[in-house]
Amino acid sequence: MSLSLTGEVVGYIGRILLNKNPFDPTGNDFLLYLVPLTISPAFLSAAIYLCLACIVVIYGEQLSRFKPGTYTIIFCGCDIFALVLQALGGGIASGAKTQSKLQLGINVMLAGLSVQVASLTLFALMCAEFAWRLHSHRNAWRTDHAAIYNSRLFKSFLIGLCVATLTIFIRSVFRVAEVSGGFHGPLANNQVSFMVLEGAMIVVATSCLTGLHPGYCFQGAWHAADFSFGKGKVLDEDTEMS
């Protein structure tokens, strides 16, 4: 989250500098805007992916198709891959001197953004599948965390997490459409659509993840919902205290 928000601030500083000098011959301001704003939402996605793993532990690992660590490995792995492609493509595009190299950078960025959209789509489907399992096996939920998942605060957190996922997905789809049209396309030069479908979506997502922070909404059980990649052992509160 910290990396993402830092990247967003840096990216908008780049846009302000471009406003003062849109034809900067060095291309540094364009690079300062393009790369951070392209890759920053990937860090937001990673934060959401980590939350799912802990949610699974709170309700009960036996109800999930996969171990909590498996969710983290799959989706954060996809996120890192998308991140590398987006950063690489942005670097190529910003330093391109020929049309062919510019198009190469755009294509690499587009591939990274497409991976992110696909990852978010798969994540949403797996969340829905886990929610269905919870609905179908209510009697199998962990009883030691009943006070947490029955609380209004935790239910609000789940809603906020869904909203954050949706807004990041909308933003990612918009960026795919924007980049696919090229830097001279209509979407890339429409400030209203950028501020609504890029800026506003990130503001909503970060507000949900901050106002409904998991460290607060898990009511002290975030560390108790930790998991290990090796044996998948869950730490309960007594183990944590000892």
pTM, to two decimals: 0.84
Contacts of 160 (CB under 8 A, 6+ apart): 208, 209, 211, 212
Distance (Å, whole) CA 102 – CA 128: 39
- What is the three-class DSSP state of 234? strand
Residue 234: per-residue pLDDT: 45
What string of pLDDT tens digits covers the 242 residues of the chain? Answer: 899 999 999 999 998 998 888 777 777 888 888 889 888 998 999 989 988 888 998 998 888 888 888 888 899 899 899 989 988 888 888 777 788 888 898 899 899 999 999 999 999 999 999 999 999 998 989 888 899 999 999 999 999 999 999 999 999 999 999 888 877 788 888 889 999 999 999 999 999 999 999 888 888 777 766 655 444 444 444 434 33
Nearest to 122 by CA among 181, 88, 82, 179: 82
Residue corresponding to tokens 């239910």: 155
Nearest to 221 by CA among 140, 133, 138, 144: 144
DSSP H stretches of helix in 25-98? 28-59, 68-94
Nearest to 57 by CA among 238, 232, 215: 232
